[in-house]
């Protein structure tokens, strides 16, 4: 007993210091685990190829192509891309960046006065120039917008237009194997809208609150839509308070925010493969193999949580448990490294042969055999 006590003191001193073969921490000042180092988390964190300060100053290295990026959000960024070209920007004065969100080759000057960016479409790239964003824009394929007065947008299979957006919108569709096929749509908001395509029909009343939509899958040699039952149906009456949806792969009923049931189906056989029932939006969620009551209760395959009292987690044939569990999200690595020990008074680690117990930050340890 004395030897175990001395060993525990050598590697763990209260909640302040702990050392393992792949982990050490001097809480709350510094910790290191699996190549990640925290200093007064969340103030500073670094990895082998990135670091960040207060989630505002960030450095990201790209060793595979000798590139890097440095940023002080949202004002400054600079770096070098995969081609070895440098880039930089002082927002909103001027700058260029190879990739921001879904945009590529972004350039701006006195934003929102002028901005240019590119986006992929199939095998081609489309470039958009925007002046006084979002009021005027012009794209390399001829699409343009003088928002909200009038605009034209070309897509692979459709042409979209609006006038006094969102009051009047309309579109023409060409036949395409990946969409609902040839047809048209229009909407005079907020009164009424229609969609009529070869494999889709939708009527909207006081959009987006009331709508009835049907769609048909592509079936060679069968009757046209309207002469056979729809494969998919969606009813909103009114959105978002009531929704019903039935497709070959999913069925959903929602009475927001009180109740929702979603069932995933096998596309070919129609059998239910998974389901979830929710109450109070997402406060209570009942899955096939898990039940959650946020943030108080979570019980499922391989884990259990009763917040703020205790939680357990399985990894292979090892189960870890602890008391207390004050953080409302379970097993967050940065919180576990730097803060959770301050309120974790008891821990256990169970394997097939025995259970190791630790009380008061390892000051008292014992083992029980199974």
Residue 131 maps to a domain: no
pLDDT band at 167 (very low <50, low <70, confident <90, very high): very high
Q: Which single residue is written with the structure tokens 């209760």?
A: 297
φ, ψ of residue 323 to 5 degrees: the values are -140, 125
Residue 217 maps to a domain: no
Q: H or E element: which one contains 61? A: strand 57-62
pLDDT at residue 10 in the model = 44
Q: What is the pTM of this model?
A: 0.76
pLDDT band at 3 (very low <50, low <70, confident <90, very high): very low
* pLDDT beyond 60 at 5: no
Could you write out the DSSP letters of every residue in 229-279? Answer: --SEEEEESSTTTEEEEE-SSEEEEEETTTEEEEEEE-TTT--EEEEEEEE
Residue bearing the bigger pLDDT, 91 or 65 = 91
pLDDT at residue 242 in the model = 97
pLDDT band at 301 (very low <50, low <70, confident <90, very high): confident
The total domain count for the chain is 1
pLDDT band at 219 (very low <50, low <70, confident <90, very high): low
- Domain region containing 332: 1-28+290-370
Residue 37 maps to a domain: no
* pLDDT beyond 70 at 4: no
**Percent of the chain with pLDDT strictly greater than 70:** 94
* pLDDT beyond 60 at 227: no
pLDDT band at 83 (very low <50, low <70, confident <90, very high): confident
pLDDT at residue 225 in the model = 59
* pLDDT beyond 60 at 117: yes
Residue 365 maps to a domain: yes
Residue 361 maps to a domain: yes
Give the residue-averaged pLDDT of 289-297. Answer: 92
pLDDT band at 156 (very low <50, low <70, confident <90, very high): confident
Identify the sign of the CA torsion 9, 15, 19, 22: positive
Q: How far apart are CA 193 and CA 170, in angstroms?
A: 9
* pLDDT beyond 80 at 226: no
Q: Name residues whose C-beta falls within 8 Å of residue 247's C-beta, 6 or more positions apart in sequence.
A: 231, 232, 265
Q: Which of 80-84, 216-220, 265-269 has the highest mean pLDDT?
A: 80-84
Residue 354 maps to a domain: yes
Half-sphere exposure of 10 (CA within 13 A, CB side): 6
Residue 53 maps to a domain: no
Residue 257 maps to a domain: no
Q: What tens digit of pLDDT does each residue of 349-368 get?
A: 999 999 999 999 888 889 99
Averaged pLDDT of the chain = 90
Q: What tens digit of pLDDT does each residue of 340-349 get?
A: 999 999 999 9
pLDDT at residue 178 in the model = 80
pLDDT band at 287 (very low <50, low <70, confident <90, very high): very high
């Amino acid at each position: 007993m004395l030897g175990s006590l001395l060993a525990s003191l050598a590697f763990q001193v209260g909640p302040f210091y702990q050392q393992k073969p792949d982990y050490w921490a001097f809480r709350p000042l510094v910790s290191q685990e699996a190549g990640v180092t925290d200093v007064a988390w969340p103030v500073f964190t670094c990895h082998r190829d990135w670091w960040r300060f207060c989630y505002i100053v960030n450095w990201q290295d790209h060793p595979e192509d000798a590139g890097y990026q440095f940023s002080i959000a949202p004002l400054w960024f600079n770096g070098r891309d995969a081609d070895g070209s440098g880039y930089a920007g002082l927002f909103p004065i001027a700058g260029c960046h190879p990739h921001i969100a879904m945009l590529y080759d972004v350039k701006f000057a006195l934003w929102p006065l002028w901005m240019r960016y590119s986006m992929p479409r199939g095998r081609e790239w489309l470039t958009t120039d925007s002046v006084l964003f979002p009021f005027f824009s012009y794209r390399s394929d001829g699409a343009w917008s003088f928002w909200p007065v009038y605009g034209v947008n070309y897509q692979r299979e459709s042409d979209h237009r609006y006038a006094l957006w969102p009051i009047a919108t309309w579109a023409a569709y060409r036949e395409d194997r990946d969409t609902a096929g040839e047809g048209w749509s229009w909407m005079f908001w907020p009164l009424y809208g229609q969609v009529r395509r070869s494999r889709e029909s939708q009527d909207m009343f006081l959009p987006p609150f009331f709508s009835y939509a049907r769609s048909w899958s592509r079936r060679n040699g069968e009757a046209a839509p309207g002469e056979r039952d729809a494969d998919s149906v969606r009813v909103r009456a009114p959105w978002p308070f009531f929704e019903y949806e039935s497709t070959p792969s999913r069925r959903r009923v929602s009475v927001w925010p009180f109740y929702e049931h979603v069932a995933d189906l096998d596309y070919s056989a129609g059998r239910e493969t998974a389901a979830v029932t929710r109450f109070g939006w997402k406060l209570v969620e009942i899955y096939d193999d898990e039940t959650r009551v946020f943030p108080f209760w979570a019980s499922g395959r391989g884990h259990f949580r009763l917040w703020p009292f205790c939680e357990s987690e399985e990894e292979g044939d090892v189960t870890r448990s602890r008391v207390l569990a004050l953080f409302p999200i379970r097993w967050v690595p940065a919180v576990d490294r730097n803060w959770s020990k301050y309120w974790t008074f008891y821990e256990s680690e169970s394997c097939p042969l025995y259970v190791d117990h630790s009380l008061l930050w390892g000051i008292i340890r014992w083992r029980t055999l199974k």
